[in-house]
Structure 1
Amino acid sequence: MNLRPKIRTPTPTTSPQQISNAKTLTLASNMGRKSIFKTLTLATILILFACYAFFNTFKLAESEIPIASRENLISSPSNSALVKIYMYDLPRKFTLGVIESYATARGGLKGPLTYPGNQHSAEWYLFSDLTREGRVGSPVTRVLDPEAADVFYVPFFSSLSLVVNPIRPGNGEVQKGLVYSDEEMQEGLIQWLEEQGYWRRNNGWDHVFVCQDPNALYKVVERVKNGVLLLSDFGRLGGNQASLVKDVILPYSHRIRSFDGDVGVESRKSLLFFMGNRYRKEGGKVRNLLFQILENEDDVTIKHGAQSRESRRAASQGMHAAKFCLHPAGDTPSACRLFDAIVSLCVPVIVSDYIELPFEDVIDYRKIAVFVDTKSAVKPGYLIKLLRGVSTERILKFQQELKKVKRYFEYEDPNGTVNEIWRQVSQKLPLIKLMINRDKRIVTRDLPEPDCSCLCSNQSGIDTIL
């Protein structure tokens, strides 16, 4: 079989001159690549150095900006990370005029215009925060153009308005002859709001009201229930008026001096302390039962006392010297003594089955308080046996946690209560937008009961935590 012969490529003959030329080209090529590599390396180093110098120069320049200017950068309405809030410029009678009326009813102003200290002063602190200069680090930024606003704040001093008149009859009507009428103020507020296009535009869903006293805005609450309500509990509101989903629970302003010492039990000789009104209505009836059970126990101080400067001084001393502080329900599930206890590093003992607590998304109250259901608390001997069984180590852990969260209950702390309230409000924005859009496409339905499918009721079951 004949196989086709393979054709071989002849080996080229290379002359010495060609070899020399090839070596020269190879050397030149290698030198060129090394030169390019060195050039690229040097360029990279120069670029990195330039970037480093630029960013450090930027930081230096930023640090040299005056504080007011830096604040403008941080809280500029163009910053999408901040919720933009527009505060209505209400007629004076709804804000500072309420303070003037309060002072007039008690003999007139004595000195500069100041908000009277009481447990419902959140409305004053929020108003002051939005009107002060140099707001830095807040979760919300105030805008002066309502078209740019995400939410609208209505700064009516509703809780102070409720108590302007020193004497109110039991039926809630204002006595004849008194000039100031809270009921008329509430109605006047609604009339003013209904004239505002921004209130009508979204049916009030994007409006924020503070009504911290349980009876604040009671006459008009049905007409503002779409808004975000800032309140202390749901004790006197219906399930279709207030909700944990749309509203914000506020702490009362503490009335006693904060404890400025360190954790420890050596100076706390008393086991349990309570000072307050013994007789209350509704859920507060448990107080009288607790008085009967506890008033003769050793190491327990339980006293009847009304609000006064002397009572607050005695309460400060008692809470600072006690390991545990009793917090029974008042006329409503919450009361200011819980927050007095927290700032005293006195472990709260909460006996209130329907209480709502502020800022529970960031505070685990099981780490700072003891919860006892009402039925167990009024059993003779139960409460004292429970508290005596808590070890010193456990009390110290409670106190350490109380110290960590104390700032959330200090309205005057720049990083305290006010900022946390605004953070809570800012978190409602997605729901506000949802409800605005939903409200515009839902048809009116004739239902036998209010449709609360979109908002959780405050009437859910209560789990007892011990």
Structure 2
Amino acid sequence: MPRKSLLKQTLTLASLLSFSLFALYFTFVSPSTPNLTKINTQDSLFRSRENVAKEVKIYMYDLPRKFTYGVIESYDKSRGAQPKNDDSLLKYPGNQHSAEWYLFKDLNRPSHERVDSAVTRVDDPEEADLFYVPFFSSLSLVVNLNRPGTLIEHPAVLYSDEEMQESLIEWLENQEYWKRNNGWDHVFICQDPNALYKVVDRVKNGVLLVSDFGRLTRDQGSFVKDVILPYSHRINSYLGDIGAENRDKLLFFMGNRYRKEGGKVRDLLFQILENEKDVIIKHGAQSRESRREATKGMHTSKFCLHPAGDTPSACRLFDAILSLCIPVVVSDYVELPFEDVIDYRKVAIFVDSNTAVKPGYLVKLLRSVNTHRILEFQRNLYEVKHYFEYEDPNGTVKEIWRQVSQKLPLINLMINRDKRLVKRDLTEPDCSCLCSNQSGIQMTL
């Protein structure tokens, strides 16, 4: 009886709390109920609130060509490719950071092909709730072969990513809709951790589409306002049946052994795992041969190791998911995409770095997972794998736009809050509404 009484009191308290929150919302955010219909139909001030319930309208800037197709053209030119006379013949190079290409291509599709998308593209910026800035910032970062640390192969090709970033901001600052709301309703993609690094502090009000927050300061990035994107997988999706009998290797990893910051755990993992039976862990650079070897390894292993790179995330996690190879995540500050709809505890195993590098611990843990549990993990991976397929019409792109659309109420809050705040000189950035509290990752089976 005491336990039932406590449960009843808890449920009652939760109900009262929920009611209070709704009451506060309608008291401080909503207009008074008697005038709601009149305001929504006659005053455009509340148009955006009405759109939240129906659809989110997005306007894609028609940027100068140099920020989109021109980046691809410059990339090809720096590698000696012949110029194309038609933009439709240009192909986005690379794979890992190609989300910027897929989103751009999606918004350029006819409206009848974008069925059930959470955002509707509009041609009139006056109708828009959000503004998408389609600069290929990740590709721009790697256009020039003469970057520090690379060989000078084509010295005649002059391209500066920093100049492109500054040029983008200069262009934006001349746009009426950028100035109107201080950039809060703008969406930027900067999936590579270094993309837009020179100007990110000047676009931080906007929704940033990123792979993680590894290079962002606490007042620049947060999962509250931004969206975590998956890398595009580099190896072929596994097309076989769910099962453990054709996976004779326990654990697989192939990648750069030596990384910076949190990625230093890789070298420690190499030291304790490279001589373990049924474990394949090897150093490898990006190449076609490496991808073929990685595909074979992931498709024939029960578990795939995902240690941190120079930043908390890496493309290997998404390769593993598409391979139905159970990810073993050793990255203490990783943020994961689409976590409001995916419970990653059901598709991956998480081990904190200090525990993972204890000799014998990781292998013992994985050997203790029985076949029934492995099959359960694989079935769950199969259920969520479409979220990480950029080519799937119901896959990654659609989910990204859904995530972006959900930011609109917060965007409207910040726009209105920004307009009424008295400007203050603060010793520290005011990020009380935007910061996330990151915590360590616990091992979960």
Match of residue 95 from structure 1: 68
Q: Distance in 2 between matches of 1:117 and 1:450?
A: 37
Partner of 2:356: 377
Contact residue 100 and residue 109 of structure 1 kept, 8 A: no
Unaligned runs of 5+ in 2: 1-49
Aligned partner of 2:281 among 302, 327, 330: 302
Residues 147-188 of structure 1: CA deviation (Å, up to 9, x unaligned): 0000000000000000001231159xxx98641100000000
Task: Name which of 432, 439, 442 aligns with 1:461.
Answer: 439
Select the structure of larger CA radius of gyration: 1
Equivalent residues in 2 for 1:96-245 (5 A)? 96-109=69-82, 112-133=89-110, 134-169=113-148, 178-245=157-224
Q: Which residue is equivalent to 1:427? A: 406
The residue type paired with residue 398 of structure 1 is F
The amino acid across from 2:95 in the alignment is N
Answer whether contact 2:325 2:378 (CA < 8 A) is retained. Answer: yes
- Comparing 444-453 with 111-120, which one deviates more in the overlay? 111-120
Q: 3-state SS of the aligned residue for 2:54?
A: coil
Aligned to 1:40: none
How big is the alpha-carbon RMSD for the aligned residues of Structure 1 and Structure 2? 1.7
SS at match of 1:286: helix
Give the partner amino acid of 2:420: R
Match of 1:59 in 2: none
| Equivalent residue number for residue 289 of structure 1 | 268
Tell me the distance in 2 between the aligned counterparts of 1:78 and 1:367: 35
Give the conservation status (yes or no) of the 8 Å contact 1:367–1:401.
yes
Check if 1:83 corresponds to 2:62. no
Residue in structure 1 matched with residue 32 of structure 2 by the alignment: none
Q: In 2, are the aligned partners of 1:98 and 1:161 still within 8 Å (CA)? A: yes
Using the TM superposition, give the Cα deviation of residue 219 of structure 1 relative to its aligned residue in structure 2, in angstroms: 0.2
Given the superposition, is the C-alpha separation of residues 406 and 304 from structure 1 closer, same or farther in structure 2, using an over 3 Å criterion?
Answer: same
Tell me which residue corresponds to 2:301. 322
CA separation in 2, counterparts of 1:461 and 1:178? 45
Measured in 2, the distance between the counterparts of 1:119 and 1:230 equals 14
Separation in 2 of the partners of 1:317 and 1:136?
A: 36
Check whether the contact 2:98–2:232 (CA below 8 A) recurs between aligned residues. yes
SS at match of 1:315: helix
Q: For 1:188 and 1:176, how far apart are their aligned partners in 2?
A: 22
- Is the Cα contact below 8 Å between 2:58 and 2:119 reproduced in 1? yes
Deviation of 1:460 (Å):
2.8
Q: Map Cα deviations across residues 408-437 of structure 1 (whole Å, 9 max, x no partner).
A: 000000000000000000000000000000
**What amino acid is aligned across from residue 452 of structure 1 in structure 2?**
C
| Superposition map of 1:15-30 within 5 A | none
Structure 1 CA distance for aligned equivalents of residues 83 and 330 of structure 2? 40
Deviations 1:356-407 (A, max 9, x none): 0000000000000000000011111000000000010000000000000000
Aligned pairs, number: 386
Identity %: 76
For 1:121, give the aligned amino acid.
Answer: S
Mapped contact 1:333–1:353 kept (Cα < 8 A): yes
Structure 2 length-normalised TM: 0.85
Q: Is the 8 A contact 2:251 2:301 kept in 1?
A: yes
Q: Residue deviations 1:283-323, cap 9 Å, x none?
A: 11111111111110000011111111111111001100000
Q: Secondary structure at the match of 2:70?
A: helix
**Structure 1 residues without counterparts, runs of 5 or longer:** 1-76
Please tell me whether residue 401 in structure 1 is matched to residue 376 in structure 2: no
Contact 2:333 2:441 in 1 (8 A): no
The question of 1:264 aligning with 2:264 is answered no
- Alignment TM-score, normalising by the size of structure 1: 0.81
User: Aligned partners of 2:267 and 2:182: how far apart in 1?
Assistant: 45
